[in-house]
Structure 1
């Protein structure tokens, strides 16, 4: 688009009997079809005038006045001062009335006399370059300074005489990115989400996430994102990006791996590694189970099936059922059981996630010394947190399983 719009600098000189300094200002892009009424509304918007029941009036350097018809007629018929020619503010076009370099005055509220100095820039502008859009009305694209309240109020009930209310001791939760409180957001219904994933129902999957707290279940949510992108890409793309950003911010084991995988799905590019359809829930059971019962198992790299090491013993499962890992060594990945050492870290992290201080301290005391797992689970059960704990711990276990696979050059497909 050609540079056909005016650039109008507006500075607020003062009002309510007070001169401002430095003058706060805004620079507006004003189109060829915009009227002075359009400009007045834009100025009042930019300078935070919420009560618009007052008059707006422009005065040009030659003494002409631009205002509403009724006020213009009153001014023209005045018995004092110079003879005034009034122009209708609703129909007069700024670009047809004034030239580049022109200086003029805008006044809002003739009682409080909010007075503005306006100057049209010598060079015209392209709104697409300055604003990125072609607005229907004049719009500010640059600004500076503090904007005073229209009536000088500093707080909602300021009567001009009362003392300033005491400042709260703590910042508002919104300033701390702690609003709304996490406890006020309903948690994700895992069963509903998993059923949607199993049914490849993208609409149901996305609906299950909407308005829910997913931050403790990102690994589980991530399992359904590729399916949602495949079936409902337009609706799923912002959700996928949100999950990627949340994974990156959380940074638990396996989160960066899943974030990279989801980003590849979002970009429609294949993963540059071996992809196997692994059940991470089952894999984490093998990896983090009781080492006294088993030392690990095997992953079938062809099918993604996970087997406990007992499946290799014909004496336990039978000759016809036992898997022969030695017959096809390249087909199998040995899974070494790591034990439950990470479980304590999960409990500590879960305790730290609790917003209620008393509950958080009880959980932290419970995981000290022997019997930590029993005491912790007892409190979780009594406080009706079992479902939340299951979702939280499962997610961390799945993340560790995902990272274990990535360390062996395998990503989950």
Structure 2
């Protein structure tokens, strides 16, 4: 470990005729190649000087002055004070001029006189140790205190006389982690997303999800990530990580299963279960369809096909659509028992609850009471132009439940 850089503590004493207390400070790592101009710029950066049209000047303990060549010439010819020989701020190296323990002064803006006390540390530092990099310019690696505006302005139009503007009644949405609002983010085009997945077009898939609100369609987006990782891994990895984090945060049925599968794909690890190419849409239809029409069906664990239970009836299936023989290969088939409409009703209740418009929320909640709830709910959604949003929301939950069902039976979607 080579420690050849100076550690320079800079404290802001005051400016504009005001003394500050406590003094704000920054500690800089200053390298052998850095000039006093480099240090001046670093100090002005660290102390938030946005108007850089003013002069910078260092004064050493022996009275020597370090400033720009023109200002130095004017000071050298002054009829006041001692005779000085100014040092060029653009040329003089800090490490060659100062020694350990040296105290010196930095002034920015000779009119407002922002005054800084500077002290060279007794021990040199290694920039890789204190900064993690070897920068081209001095950089602060420690600091404290509040930084005043160089003109004392507290808001954009502060003229020193006007009263302070009133504080908004509510915090800014950014402080509430509610920005940007969902209405500002373009919605996901599910048709385009599905088209990209069906056509196995990774570029189209990435374009379909980038910059879009995907939070209601994470299961649907996740279905395309393995394909995109295979074709365009570097571009897809950030998308995959984002979806994994969102799934983990949302945490509804099937989300943690999909998150684990996507993480395995990123790590080039096998999925934790028997991998079957299942169409989750078809599976969810069989699992959550009308129980009056069917009690369920079967999943072919070899090919991934989903069959309604009528496919086992030889009286109904003939020719190429001959009935499947479940009993002949029992290990090939997974029984699917229909769960009915209970989960669908909970989806409607959850969709209603998340509406910010109180009146709309109450209408949706009334619509799902009693018989005919599904029809009333969908009619109301159509009238409120929420059908597409509901479709994405409900489809994602159905796919998640289907994925969870498979995982509970040792099957992963592949």
TM, length-normalised to structure 2: 0.97
Counterpart Cα distance in 1 of 2:128 and 2:38: 19
* Structure 2 spans left out of the alignment, 5+ residues: none
Task: Say if 1:35 and 1:357 are closer, same or farther in 2 by CA, change over 3 A.
Answer: farther
Deviations 1:129-175 (Å, cap 9, x if unpaired)?
22222222111111111111111111111122222211111110111
Distance in 2, Cα, partners of 1:31 & 1:359: 64
- Aligned pairs for 1:316-395 (under 5 A) are 316-318=316-318, 321-395=322-396
1-structure distance, mates of 2:84, 2:172? 53
Aligned: 1:226 with 2:239: no
Distance in 2 between the 1:196 and 1:130 partners? 48
- Aligned partner of 1:53 in structure 2 is 53
Matched ranges for 1:106-255 at <5 A: 106-255=106-255
1:64 match: 64
State the match for 2:4 in structure 1. Answer: 4
Give the Cα separation in 2 of the matches to 1:209 and 1:133: 36
Question: Aligned ranges for residues 84-99 of structure 1 at < 5 Å?
Answer: 84-99=84-99
Whole-Å separation in 1 of the counterparts to 2:363 and 2:183? 18
The aligned residue for residue 299 of structure 1 is 299
Secondary structure, aligned partner of 1:136: coil
Task: Find runs of 4+ consecutive structure 1 residues off by over 6 angstroms.
Answer: none
CA-based RMSD: 1.4
1:10 deviation in Å?
A: 0.8
Deviation of residue 49 (structure 1)?
A: 0.7
Larger mean CA deviation between 167-176 and 3-12 belongs to 3-12
TM-score (norm 1): 0.97
Distance 1:359 1:105, change over 3 A: same
SS in 2 for 1:24: strand
Report the Cα offset of residue 359 of structure 1. Answer: 2.8
What is the match of residue 266 of structure 1?
266
Q: Tell me how far apart the structure 1 counterparts of residues 317 and 138 of structure 2 sit (CA, whole Å).
A: 79
Distance in 2 of aligned mates of 1:133 and 1:369: 66
The equivalent residue for 1:26 is: 26
Select between 364-373 and 271-280 the one with higher mean Cα deviation.
364-373
Distance in 2 of aligned mates of 1:16 and 1:84: 26
2:275 is aligned to 275
In the TM superposition, residue 180 of structure 1 has moved relative to its aligned partner by 1.1
In the TM superposition, residue 357 of structure 1 has moved relative to its aligned partner by 4.0
- Tell me the distance in 1 between the aligned counterparts of 2:357 and 2:70: 63
Deviation at 1:371, TM superposition (A): 2.9
Gaps of 5+ in 1: none
Aligned residue number for residue 406 of structure 2: 405
